[in-house]
Amino acid sequence: MENEKTKTIRAVIFDWAGTVVDYGCFAPIYGLVEAFKAFDIDVSLDTARQDMGLAKRDHIRKLLATPSVGEGFRTAHGRSSTENDIDAIHQHLEAGLLVRLRDFAVPIHGVVDMVSELTSAGIQIGSTTGYTRPMMDVILPIAMEAGYRPQVVVTSSEVPTGRPAPWMCFENAKRLGVYPMDRLVKVGDTLVDVDEGRNAGMWTVGVIEGSNLLGLSRSEVITMKPNDLELRKEHVVEQMMSRGADIVIDRIVDLPDAIKSIEQRLALGGRPGEGQRELAQA
């Protein structure tokens, strides 16, 4: 039997946009706004950010179910939306993203070195995403060329149900050959990332800077008044903690320290979703 003091994290499952690529998670936001605009429906950037992390078809369905977007559709088309409309908007979104994603596929600064540190410590790297496989076929070669090479990539189109269901995480664990699930950490920038990790029985780590929840570009983070930025960050922390994140880190490069904290909890018999939650300060 494994000694409690030697318990270690064996794999990290990363989200993609807003976590390891696409600082601020802008590609899917712009894509959604443009896709709805093609059907004469105005969707604000803030509204598009709601429920980010879902499979793209599910995200479209959720947006159409919101009062403002649903009313916008009825005004433009004289009826309520149907599954055929969801299909049509999704097709438009996918076509637009297949072009746009090339500009948002380079890893966020520090990600490659951080992942190298993890793999040097014997930690395997997997990933889940709300993108479809054709979308990832655009992103993955660019990210790999830049040095980010996860061992496993599971997309929402390859499992029965995307986030917040745990199936993509389970598929990662299976392909990586890692169990029990408390030896894996889910890292992401959205609330459904936290839900996904918790539903899979994993440790969950939320990221603030670069996240969809913060919704700021790198230049906006740099130039924003410190007090204003701190207030926005505090709101992100509150949302992630209330959703059940075990740790919230300021930047993705802070992850190795968060993993050390998790391993300390494991050594003391801690389990995901139980006990102290933590904000890891940079």
156 & 229 share domain: yes
Q: What is the pLDDT of residues 156-193, one digit of tens each?
A: 889 999 999 999 999 999 999 999 999 999 999 999 99
Q: CATH no. for residue 211?
A: 3.40.50.1000
**pLDDT the model gives residue 3:** 47
Closest listed residue to residue 16, CA positions, set 267, 252, 277, 263: 252
Residues within the annotated binding site for Mg(2+)? 15, 17, 189
Last residue of a domain, one of 75, 103, 131: 103
Q: What would the pLDDT profile of 247-257 be if each residue is shown by its tens digit?
A: 999 999 999 99
14 with 151, same domain? yes
Q: Are residues 144 and 15 in the same domain?
A: yes
Long-range contacts (CB closer than 8 Å, 24 or more residues apart) made by 229-233: 233/208, 233/209
Domain enclosing residue 66, as ranges: 27-103
**CATH number of the domain to which 86 belongs:** 1.10.150.240
- Examine the fold and report which residue of 74, 103, 132 is the final residue of a domain before the chain moves on: 103
Strand pairing partners for 249? 207, 280
pLDDT of 5 reads 45
The proportion of the chain whose per-residue pLDDT surpasses 70, expressed as a percent, equals 95
- pLDDT greater than 60 at residue 2: no
Residues facing residue 184 across a β-bridge: 11
- 130 shares a domain with 96: no
Instruction: Please identify which residue in the block is written with the tokens 């149900």.
Output: 161
71-76, long-range: CB < 8 A, 24+ apart: 72/36, 72/41, 72/42, 72/43, 73/39, 73/41, 76/39, 76/40, 76/41
As annotated, the active-site residues are 15, 56
Please report which confidence band the pLDDT of residue 275 belongs to, taking 50, 70 and 90 as the band edges: low
- The torsion defined by the Cα of 262, 194, 32 and 129, in degrees rounded to 10, comes to 60
Smallest CA-to-CA distance from 193 within 231, 162, 152 is with 162
Q: Which residues are part of a known binding site?
A: 15, 17, 189
Question: In terms of domains, do 196 and 263 share one?
Answer: yes
- pLDDT score, position 1: 40
For residue 153, pLDDT beyond 90: yes
Residue 268 sits in the same domain as residue 207:
yes
Beta bridge pairs of residue 52: 54
* Per-residue model confidence as pLDDT tens digits over 6-19: 579 999 999 999 99
Q: What is the pLDDT of residue 280?
A: 60
- Is the pTM for the entire model greater than 0.85? yes
If one counts the domains in the chain, the total is 2
Residue 4 has what pLDDT? 46
Is the pLDDT at 282 greater than 80? The verdict is: no
Selection from 67, 113, 110, 57 nearest residue 88 by Cα: 57
Instruction: Kindly state whether residues 53 and 160 are assigned to the same domain.
Output: no
Q: Tell me which residue of 173, 282, 191, 175 sits closest to 242, measured CA to CA.
A: 191
Q: What is the mean pLDDT of residues 202-226?
A: 97
pLDDT for 157: 87
**Residue 78 and residue 124 in one domain:** no
